Amino acid sequence: MPGSGEALQFGPDGAELHAAALSEDETRRIEPALAGLSAAAGHRLARLDDIADLLTATGPIGRIAAAHIGATARPVRAILFDKSAGANWSLALHQDRTIAVRARNDFPGFGPWTVKAGIPHVEPPHEFTARMATLRVHLDDVDESNAPLLILPGSHRLGRLTTGPLDDLAGHHEPVACHARRGDIWAYATAIIHGSDSSRDPARSRRVLQLDYSPDELPGGLNWHFVSG
């Protein structure tokens, strides 16, 4: 059984729980913006105008990213996840290495390219993802029964991991489960090794708005896919 992650800190461990980061009123504001979206394996969003003020570096969500990666932090990707009886996937431990952009524009050091849900994705030099933070905004309680995020603390400091070293790391370390309550926000280093099991109770809703934040502009005419307002 994975351990509990409530005592983790962003700097040394690569993940940190911000309990009750959102009030109930703020949490309710998010729900209409996501209503009706299919989240079978993650619904990628191009913008969230109705809650843009929550996402800025001075808003209740964005200021958490700013506290970890600097005042220039801004949201650059947004995905809705909702595991359910009809969409109950699992995801092996892995490292996120690609970013979402508006259009392909070849530039030295950026590649290979892929397309996910019709959106161009590219792998940037590792230093870009190493400076990023990912926030998981919980719209439902999450515990061991409905597929919490699993992470390997400290793995964000190991650089870009290829398949062999990643598999070896995952095979020798017990992941930590990131339990949460509605209104909590988990912040983790985007480069951390993470995954999740399928839900053991798929009748329970497990809605998560996941936001990647970066302090950087992209070079070579590349533009981040997500627009926050």
Token pair 């597929």: residue: 147
For residue 139, tell me if it sits in a domain. Answer: no
pLDDT exceeds 50 at position 160: yes
Helix, strand or coil for residue 167? helix
Cis before 112 (ω within 30): yes
Q: Alpha-carbon distance 176 to 153, whole Å?
A: 7
Query: What single DSSP character describes residue 157?
Result: G
Strands 176-178 and 3-4: parallel
Domain range for residue 108?
Answer: 12-134+150-198+210-214
**Percent of the chain predicted with pLDDT > 90:** 73
pLDDT exceeds 80 at position 45: yes
For residue 221, tell me if it sits in a domain. Answer: no
- Average pLDDT (24-30) is 97
- Average pLDDT (191-204) is 91
Give pLDDT tens digits for 82-117. Answer: 887 778 888 899 999 999 999 999 999 999 999 988
Q: Are 166 and 173 in contact (CB under 8 A)?
A: no
For residue 223, tell me if it sits in a domain. Answer: no
- Average pLDDT (198-205) is 88
- Average pLDDT (17-30) is 97
Q: Which two tokens stand for residue 45?
A: 């969003």
What value does the mean pLDDT of the chain take?
91
For residue 16, tell me if it sits in a domain. Answer: yes
Q: Alpha-carbon distance 121 to 225, whole Å?
A: 9
For residue 35, tell me if it sits in a domain. Answer: yes
Give pLDDT tens digits for 131-148. Answer: 999 999 999 999 999 999
pLDDT exceeds 80 at position 36: no
> How many folded domains does the chain comprise?
1
